[in-house]
Amino acid sequence: MSSPEIVSTEPATGQILWRGMPGDPADEVAIARAAWPDWASRPLSVRVETMRRYANVVRQRAEQFADLIARETGKPMWEARTEVESVVAKVDISIAAYAERTPQRRMEGAMGARTAVRHKPHGVLAVLGPFNFPAHLPNGHIVPALIAGNAIVFKPSEKTPATGQMLVACLHEAGVPPGVARFVPGGPAEGAALAADPNIDGLLFTGSVRGGLALHRQFAETPNRILALELGGNNPLVMWDTPDLHSAAVIAVQSAYLSAGQRCTAARRLIVRDGAHQPLLDEICKLIARIIVDHPHASPPPFMGPVIDNQAANAIEERFLGLIMSGGRAIKHLQRPAADKPFLTPALIDVTNVANRSDEEIFGPVLQVIRVPDFDAAIAEANATRYGLSAALVGGAPELYDRFWANVRAGIVNWNRPTNGASSKAPFGGVGLSGNHRPSAYYAADYCAFPVVSTESEQVRASIGVGLRDA
């Protein structure tokens, strides 16, 4: 059964931005399958040059693209512009990564033979994108996949189809054959159908842990297909012996509240030394009081906009009230200025005394404070999660950071920097429920092509030296 009509509304205004009927994943996969061999047989230099033209197309349409992202997600224009810049930058990064991660190698062997290592694309790859970075994150799968010679079938989040459609339109305008990059609007039904299609060779997914676990179970019986999962995190931010309280507070605010807390690397838990925590919390509260929450095009520019929709806002409010009902103490209450719109103010809540705290990702502007007696307890609390995406330590000497780095369990470990804002020039991924050891960003080339080893000789030479009777 297909999803009903897909309607995208602007979170900040409630106005309809895009509407359309769901696509047919099977049809789109068939088109991609037919187009893929020609694309894969083209020289790498041709595919690279096509991707460079794509970067130029996006660059030329940057302001229009940023405006669309801002209206469809609710994020401020300044942040939408940085997302478009990341889309452009991803091309050169992916070209360099493909050359480094999948190089051709030749090794000389005995009797004139040689061993060659080259890489082949998988074929047709499905890409399922999220709503929080509807251009940058799927682009991080799509560009490396196309460079490697794959065809892609992209289903964006049903909450951000307009951005997804524009992304694919830019690919086509740059010269990517229409059959090689396919756009499938749709909801959960189309996503499930695309993942289950027997004619895909793999799936690249960025989204929720629940969705990732379902895909992991589904793909368990098809080891012939690649699966790359980029999931969420219940990320710890440990602040310890921080003499510069203002800078520490800035890092806490950036970590927890950028994108209205809708980043998989956002700090969810602030771990502090009990008894020395109050000056830091006071400084964070001062900054929170100054944060502007407004629509994307507001003046002065807001720090954060709304969350993606009213359903998400309702769920975040329920989770915050649940923490209070379980013994949490609100330091800064989560507020919703307009009941009919998904604007939320940044919240800070002490959950130290909440028994049996739920290890779940609250995907919104809620930062939970946990007080601990010593640094061993801080590390233990940081690791008290099934996730393992991002972690950061603010403060402490290099020896303390070395101890933190060695013992904390995460794929991204920072010192005196926010938990978010990872560089696309490095691998991006986590452990535990945060991924399946298929890091993206710079390492995306690893899951977009597979190595082929060949032993080769220009002449037919063979002999058996032992185990034969005399002729």
Closest CA to 349 of 340, 357, 341, 337: 357
**Catalytic option among 72, 264, 283, 361:** 264
**Gap between the Cα atoms of 328 and 320, Å rounded:** 9
**Are 1 and 189 spatial neighbours (Cβ–Cβ below 8 Å)?**
yes
Q: What are phi and psi of 238, to 5 degrees?
A: -100, 125
| Residues β-bridged to residue 182 | 153
Report residue 94 as tokens: 């992916």
Burial class (CB in 10 A: 0-12, 13-18, 19+), 455: exposed
Helix, strand or coil for residue 106? strand
- DSSP tag of 29: H
Give me the phi and psi of 452, to 5 degrees please.
-120, 125
Beta strands in 389-466 (DSSP E): 390-394, 412-415, 427-428, 440-441, 449-456
Q: Which of 83, 158, 230, 361 is catalytic?
A: 230
Q: Which residues of 280-309 are buried (b: 16+ CB within 10 A; e: fewer)?
A: bbebbeebbeeeebbbbeeeeebbbbbbbb
Asked whether the beta carbons of 302 and 293 are under 8 A apart, the reply is yes
Active site annotation includes 264: yes
Q: Note if 170 is an active site residue.
A: no
Nearest CA to 217 out of 246, 192, 190 is that of 192
- Locate 6 and state its tokens: 């897909």
**Which positions are annotated as active-site residues?**
230, 264
